[in-house]
Chains A and B, each alone.
Chain A
Amino acid sequence: MIEIQQLSKTFGDTSILRHISARFLGGRAYGIVGANGAGKSTLFRCIAGLESHQGEISSAHTPLKDHLGYLLAEQYFLPRITGQEYLTLLAEAREKRITDLLDRNIFDLPLHAYVSTYSTGMKKKLAILGILLQDNNYFILDEPYNGLDLQSSMMLTEIITRLKAMGKTILISSHIFSTLTETCDEMFLLQDGTFLKHMDQADFGRLEEELKENLLAKDLDKLFGN
């Protein structure tokens, strides 16, 4: 369980997050939706302890960051390391010994090649595999489907389902709405620095319609001058 109370974040005079409160339970996946720049990544960075902030973030396992697998939208890789070395580094950092790395290479990545030679999708898969091998209790997946091929996307959806069954807490942001409706139990709409809406599965369809009407239609009207 992760609990956020009155979380606020400002950059200079600009307020990005304003008094956000939420509780994310184990065994559930939560979708965070919002326009570009709404503050989704900033929220994730605050939870991961990468940003200073106001308000409280607590979790059942402490410190939270030592039990958190954080998939960044753009993952960083050390230069001149192979896929295998990257995975070993991540596992070793959490004192996990992986002896069957090749068997667990479910994405069939060329682990002996330099990561720099990987495609965008392969890098994403490697990063996902890395945080899975760490055996974390919490997962933040920032745009996990970006760059993935169809088969890997299906695999990721199955992985999220399995993680939920294992009691893990998962926060996901994605611009592909269908991936969220497939995987998430609840969804939060982040707008103007606050959670404007909080919906469970039954209301996902309504949320999509509202997003289309309120966000897209207005913008398209502006563009085409209707």
Chain B
Amino acid sequence: MNYYFALQYRIAKRSIEEVGVPFWVGMLVLIGLLIAGYFICQRFPDYADLLLLYTGTSFLLTQTGSQRIDFLKTTFPEKKFRKVRLCESLLYILPLVILAGLVGAWFALGILPIAAYLFAMNTLTFQTRRSFPTPFRKYPFEFIILFRKFFWLFVALYGLGAIGIYVDNFNLSIFAAAVIILVAVGDAYSVIEPEEILWSNSRSPDRFLGYKIGRGAIQLSGLILPLLTLMSFFFREQTPWIALCWIIGCLLLALMVVLKYKSYPKPIGLIEGFSFVICIFIPILVFALFPYYYSKAKKNIQIVYDRNTTA
């Protein structure tokens, strides 16, 4: 078990170093993010619990892939396997539990360890022969995967948005909408398709990026506009803000697309991820960063085209 965790440490170290920064810098950035999280929770205490629970659950979800669980289950004896899963789940949420304690988010403080326990103990992986229906089925693949992965979270967030409308709390509704947008934009482009898929399309890099951004914006709108339209009906005076929320969502999506293909076939690096986070807080920066990353992405796509052509 000790070897497994030593290996996890090595894997984390390598993944940070792979994006071109020393390990200690990566750790500093992570500490910086925690401090930023502290100030965000202090600034918006009403949403601290939700934010911490969402972040914690997202961390835990990353560890629950069926192949990964099957691997651990077949590798470790039963008791050890449960210990490994419990320890890694608790380690993942530990910083958030500390943060919850510091900002007084008592609900999150109580729920996070329970969630970690439940995630660790629920070890059955499910195989189903039926595909989960998705409204995005015609246009693979980002939003299809996203929709299936986060269906219940989206249902919950739509519910939260509806509660906001019912109790006449605009902030709650717009928070729910913003989380949907951030989850969608943040996760949809985390899936990295094999190079053959990129290579097999006949579009030029410009047209490919335009297609990806356009299609993504339509799909994001399909996901979020029902809630935003409902909100603009009940919060008429807030309509400009609601429209702005949608526009920012589309801008962030465009940035995410070029960030992905700038790094492709590797995952988005630390610097690109940091740029994206900054743009969440200062969306106007997208206009400055987008052209730079667009040209980088275009060149990178061309490299992939050429590499596969000459191979």
Asked whether any CB of chain A lies closer than 8 Å to the CB of B74, the reply is: yes
- Across-interface contacts of A68 in B (CB, < 8 A): 74
Q: Which residue of B lies closest to A66 (CB)?
A: B77
Inter-subunit contact A93/B4 (CB<8 Å): yes
Distance in angstroms from B20 CB to nearest chain A CB is 15
The residue that B70 contacts in the complex, of A42, A76, A89, with Cβ under 8 A, is A76
Contact B130 A72 (CB under 8 A): no
Specify which chain B residues have a CB less than 8 angstroms from the CB of A12 in the assembled complex: 128-130
Contacting residues, chain B, for A75 (C-beta < 8 A): 71
Assess whether A164 is interfacial by the CB under 8 Å rule.
no
Give the distance in Å from the alpha carbon of A45 to the alpha carbon of B125 in the complex.
11
Complex CA gap A51/B4 in Å reads 24
Q: Is B3 an interface residue (CB 8 A)?
A: yes
Is there contact, CB below 8 Å, between B7 and A70? no
Smallest Cβ distance from A96 to chain B, in angstroms? Answer: 11
Q: CA–CA, A74 to B127, complex, Å?
A: 15
Q: Which of A19-27, A79-87, A118-126, A171-179 contacts B (4 or more CB under 8 A)?
A: A79-87
Give CA–CA (A48, B70) in the complex, Å.
Answer: 10
Q: Is B76's CB within 8 Å of the partner chain A?
A: yes
- In whole Å, how far is B247's beta carbon from the nearest beta carbon of chain A? 36
Among residues of A, the one whose C-beta sits closest to the C-beta of B18 is A80
| Contact among B4, B11, B75, B129 with A79 in the assembled complex (CB-CB below 8 Å) | B11
Tell me which residues from 107 to 125 in chain B have a Cβ below 8 Å from any Cβ of chain A.
124-125
* Residues in B neighbouring A89, C-beta threshold 8 A: 3-4, 7, 75
Residues 58-81 (chain A) with a chain B CB within 8 angstroms? 63, 65-66, 68, 70, 72, 74-81
- Give B35-68 as 1s and 0s: 1 = Cβ < 8 Å from A's Cβ atoms: 0000000000000000000000000000000011
Residue among B3, B74, B124 making CB contact with A65, cutoff 8 Å: B74
In the assembled complex, how far is the CB of residue B170 from the closest CB belonging to chain A, in whole angstroms? 42
Is A92 among interface residues, defined by CB-CB distance under 8 A?
Answer: yes
In the docked arrangement, what's the CA distance between A80 and B75, Å? Answer: 18
Q: Is A197 an interface residue (CB 8 A)?
A: no
The closest CB in chain A to the CB of B4 belongs to A89
Residues from chain B with Cβ under 8 Å of A79 in the complex: 11, 15
Residues of A within 8 A of B78 (CB): 63, 65-66
Complex Cα spacing A92 to B5, Å: 12
Quick one: given A11-B129, A51-B127, are A78 and B80 in contact (CB under 8 Å)?
no
Q: Which residues does B use to contact A, with CB under 8 Å?
A: 3-4, 7, 10-11, 14-15, 18, 67-68, 70-71, 73-78, 80, 124-125, 127-130
Which residue of A is nearest B12, CB measured? Answer: A80
Docked complex Cα distance between A85 and B125 (Å)? 26
Smallest distance from the beta carbon of B85 to chain A beta carbons, Å? Answer: 13
| Interface status of A38 (Cβ within 8 A of chain B) | no
Minimal beta-carbon separation of A75 from chain B (angstroms): 8
Q: A66-B78, A80-B11, A80-B15 are in contact. Are A72 and B3 (CB under 8 A)?
A: no
Report Cα–Cα, A143/B163, bound state, in Å: 52
Tell me the complex Cα distance, A89–B128, Å.
30
Alpha-carbon separation in the docked complex, A190 to B15 (Å): 44
| Contact indicator per residue, chain A 86-117, by CB within 8 Å of chain B (1) or not (0) | 00111011100000000000000000000000
Q: Once the chains are docked, how many angstroms separate the CA of A42 from the CA of B127?
A: 10
- Cβ B77 vs Cβ A70 within 8 A: no
**A residues 1-45 in Cβ contact with B at 8 Å:** 11-12, 14, 42, 45
Given A11-B127, A12-B128, A70 and B3 contact (CB-CB distance below 8 Å):
no
Whether the pair A78, B7 counts as a contact (CB closer than 8 A) is: yes
- Contact partners of A93 in chain B: CB under 8 A: 4, 75-77, 80
Q: Which residue of A lies closest to B73 (CB)?
A: A50
A201: CB under 8 A from chain B? no
